[in-house]
Amino acid sequence: MLRRVVQHIPEKHFRMIRYFGFLANRVCGKYLPKVYEALKMATPGPVPKLYFTQMAKAFLNVDPFRCVLCGARMVYTAAISGLTVQGTGPQRSGDRADEVREALTGARCVRT
């Protein structure tokens, strides 16, 4: 069994070809529709874009924009970047704490 798996490991310094022919990045847009036509297959349409809210509702059964206090729909006001969990990144000075607190308290429910 192990021999069957090991045969797929390339030799040292062997150059692997990722895409070749009609799947090559340079000609994919030109030739791939012709391949679908030759095989009498329907050309796949664009993949719908998934958003965090949709994924959270589908997998976690939770609406991330539902207020945990009053149950109303929250309004997205800002995203805060550069925050780290204590002990996992560089230490930040305390002057950023006021900015974070202000941004977090800026999120509000629609009812208010």
Task: Please tell me the distance from the alpha carbon of residue 83 to that of residue 23, in angstroms, as a whole number.
Answer: 41
Which residues, including other chains, have CB under 8 Å from residue 36's CB and lie 6 or more apart? 42, 43
Same domain? For 71 and 103 the reply is yes
Listed residue (104, 97, 101, 96) closest to 77, CA to CA: 104
Give the per-residue pLDDT at 16: 81
Asked whether residue 43 is domain-assigned, the answer is no
Q: What is the pLDDT of residues 23-54, one digit of tens each?
A: 888 888 899 899 999 999 998 888 899 888 89
Predicted TM-score (pTM) of this structure: 0.38
Same domain? For 57 and 105 the reply is yes
**Phi, psi angles (nearest 5°) of residue 109:** -80, 160
How many domains does the chain divide into? Answer: 2
Listed residue (79, 69, 76, 72) closest to 109, CA to CA: 72
Give the per-residue pLDDT at 110: 55
Domain span holding position 65 = 53-109
Asked whether residue 66 is domain-assigned, the answer is yes
Q: What is the pLDDT of residues 66-95, one digit of tens each?
A: 888 888 888 888 777 776 665 555 555 555
Give the per-residue pLDDT at 21: 87
The answer to whether residue 108 scores a pLDDT higher than 70 is: no
pLDDT classification of 8: cutoffs 50, 70, 90: confident
Same domain? For 102 and 66 the reply is yes
Asked whether residue 57 is domain-assigned, the answer is yes
Same domain? For 27 and 65 the reply is no
Asked whether residue 80 is domain-assigned, the answer is yes
Rounded-to-5 percentages of helix, strand, coil across the chain: 35, 5, 60
Identify whether the C-beta of residue 64 lies closer than 8 Å to the C-beta of residue 56.
Answer: yes
DSSP string, 30-55: HHHHHHHHHTT-PPP-PPPPP-HHHH
Asked whether residue 44 is domain-assigned, the answer is no
